[in-house]
Structure 1
Amino acid sequence: MTIDMDGKHIDETKELDGKDVRSVPTLASIAEKVGVSVNTVSRALRAPNTVRAELRKRINVAMDELNYVPNRLAGGLSGMRTDIVGVVVTSLYYSEFASIIDTLQSALLERDLQVMLANTRYNPDQEIKLVRSILSWRPAAVAIIGIDHPPKVVELLKASGIPIIEMWDTGGNVIDTAIGFDHQAVGAAQARHLIDQGYKKLAFVGSLRENDRRAQKRLLGLEAEAARAGIAAIAKRTEPQGGSPDLGERLAGELLETHSEIGAIVCNSDVVAFGVLRALKKRGKRVPEDIGVIAFGDNEAAACVTPSLTTIRPDREKIGRLTADAIVARINGGEPQTTVVDWQLMFRDSTRRKD
């Protein structure tokens, strides 16, 4: 027996959903590592001011080393999984993941599962805090954007013993199950499309945050494919901040001041491309005759701007639907798997040099 955060006794060696959870870190394992009683560890969590600072620090270090996650469920509920599915995204701007979340939530509701949403804003420290918080509610599963996470997040998710579904990216090592696509392949396809349309001197413009590994992978794919085609080094203008039309306009202006010979610009997102198109128009550049523009995302406005924007359309709804299916399958004992979802290159006027 041990004691939960409310001071009640719980049995942490009983089975969870038919699985032995004795390997899951408990208050008892923390107490043993620190060399104190379970009551002391429980008190350090419930009323930190009643425990010496030095001892609290040792307890916190032990919790971190063992990947212990406090249990927010009290008493008889403490050994149960809830009907919650934690969903962790990196951004809520410009509806990049809105369709995934909407489709995922609708499909999970049909299975009597509820979504708990968290937004990391591409901040690794926030990702660690949010993942730890979600796990404290003992979710049935966690769905999270991307496959590149801080090491501590990977440790926490692996130690949780629940299904982990990584969405949006499949280009690398996964924790459990992944549903998405290879972003380097997207970057390579952007380069091939521009080269096929007769563009020779390429550039990359946009938001390139340290923790946005998907955008970095697309750039790697773009550069690798351009190099294979004998294209000179790609000029880049990026900043580590959220993408926006204003950012695209400013970076495109800076690019053209130093690289007037550029023939086509690849943007890391549609909203950045909208600003690039604005900058080119102000400078009297014809699109696609003088400079071509291609982007990623297929924002709702991409087909409506003038000229209409060539871009990559990920199948967000399919990713959301397959993620829901994978969550239910894994909860019911199905095997982990990686599923690659198709995407489309939407060929529009911003690169239409040839019919």
Structure 2
Amino acid sequence: MKKNLTIKDIAEMAGVAKSTVSRYLNNGNISAATSEKIKKVIEANQYEPNAFAQSLKAKRTRFVGIIAPCLDSVVKSKVIMALDDELRNNSYNSLIINTSLKTELEVESLENLARLKVDGIILVATEITEKHKEVINKINIPITIIGQQYSEVTSIINDDYNAGFRVGEYIRECGHKDVVYLGVSETDVAVGIKRKNGVLNGFGNEMLVKITDFTSENAESIVDELLKSHTPTAIICATDKIAVGAFRAIENNNKKVPEDISLIGFGGYDTSTLISTSLTTIKFNNKKMGEMAADTIIKLINGEEVPKLQITEFNFIERNSVKRF
């Protein structure tokens, strides 16, 4: 068997032109006799064409590009796994690109995927910058955005405002008055603005707002510094991962959840291996979001109409990390 057989090799062995072999591999129009000669060479040498390279010459590649901000997030990984499964069930292949939370890589990846002629692109976004908009508007490929809303593109988002409102309302109903909200930068519109505003409006009273990033380490540091001079009755965290860091800081300062400080988060993933108290939280339907994204991009690829904005539901999960007065 000949290693790394090329189209040129097959053409020479079959006594035909390279373009004829290419037409054969892409189900083009060639004579039965010529087709049989090429087939015999391929079978004799166990040649397997590069599926992706072959697909680039076809009208449909059956590839969908997925741009992910990270692969170590519990929430993002559940969305992407459900998305990948649903695409595969519909005979599409996923090209998953991890951008490590670098927005410039997201923009670069949009351009690269367009050059690869994928059938569609799904952007799991943490923010939509002017550069994102510029690139999105110039590439002629169906695009769906997950997690953020951009009016020019089909977007699938969590119901961040109402989820935040439910949490703020709940903390107020539990009798808390001295409350801290540990949020993220407003560059992330969904979590940094909509979720925060929902919490503040649901609570209805003044609340100290502290800004962290999405890591538990930074959240731990901020809460540790806060507790040196002030002990609120409750801390509302923009994500469960942030709540894990806040929990560690509370314990480091010899305080307990919920006896001394109540704690609540957003995300709904299992924190039982990370903290000893079961966390009251908002659970978003990440699997549903992934399935919706796959269904949406396939419809867009097929030229079907889809709503510009789709919003997933949430569940409020009351556990034992919040004290009632």
Q: Identify whether the pair has TM-score above 0.5, normalized to the shorter chain.
A: yes
1:289 corresponds to which residue? 259
Correspondence for 2:82 among 88, 103, 120 = 103
Offset of residue 186 of structure 1: 2.2
Q: Deviations over 1:327-352 (max 9, x none)?
A: 22222221131221111111111015
Matched, 1:175 2:147: no
Question: How do 1:1-355 and structure 2 match up within 5 A?
Answer: 77=56, 80-146=59-125, 148-169=127-148, 172-205=149-182, 208-209=184-185, 211-217=187-193, 218-226=195-203, 229=204, 231-232=205-206, 234-239=207-212, 241-244=213-216, 246-260=217-231, 262-302=232-272, 305-337=275-307, 338-353=309-324
User: Distance in 2 between the 1:111 and 1:87 partners?
Assistant: 16
User: Distance in 1 between the 2:187 and 2:58 partners?
Assistant: 35
Offset of residue 83 of structure 1: 1.4
User: Distance in 1 between the 2:79 and 2:272 partners?
Assistant: 19
SS in 2 for 1:345: strand
Q: 1:216 to 1:77 in 2, by over 3 A?
A: closer
Offset of residue 148 of structure 1: 4.1
SS in 1 for 2:310: strand
Structure 1 contact 164–177 (Cα < 8 Å) conserved? yes
Specify every segment of 5 or more residues in structure 2 that has no aligned partner in the other structure, as ranges. Answer: 1-51
Structure 1 contact 85–143 (Cα < 8 Å) conserved? yes
**Structure with greater Cα Rg:** 2
Structure 1 contact 202–266 (Cα < 8 Å) conserved? yes
Offset of residue 88 of structure 1: 1.4
User: Distance in 1 between the 2:321 and 2:214 partners?
Assistant: 23
Specify every segment of 5 or more residues in structure 1 that has no aligned partner in the other structure, as ranges. Answer: 1-72
Q: How many residues are paired up? A: 272
User: Distance in 1 between the 2:64 and 2:53 partners?
Assistant: 19
Q: 1:147 to 1:248 in 2, by over 3 A?
A: closer
Q: 1:281 to 1:148 in 2, by over 3 A?
A: closer
SS in 2 for 1:220: helix
TM-score normalised by structure 1 residue count: 0.69
TM-score normalised by structure 2 residue count: 0.75
User: Distance in 1 between the 2:235 and 2:138 partners?
Assistant: 43
Question: What amino acid is the match of 1:345?
Answer: F
Bigger RCO of structures 1 and 2 (CA < 8 A, at least 6 apart): 2
SS in 2 for 1:259: coil
Provide the identity percentage. Answer: 25
User: Distance in 2 between the 1:113 and 1:291 partners?
Assistant: 48
- CA RMSD, 1 decimal: 2.5
Offset of residue 237 of structure 1: 3.0
User: Distance in 1 between the 2:143 and 2:129 partners?
Assistant: 15
SS in 2 for 1:115: strand
Offset of residue 137 of structure 1: 0.8
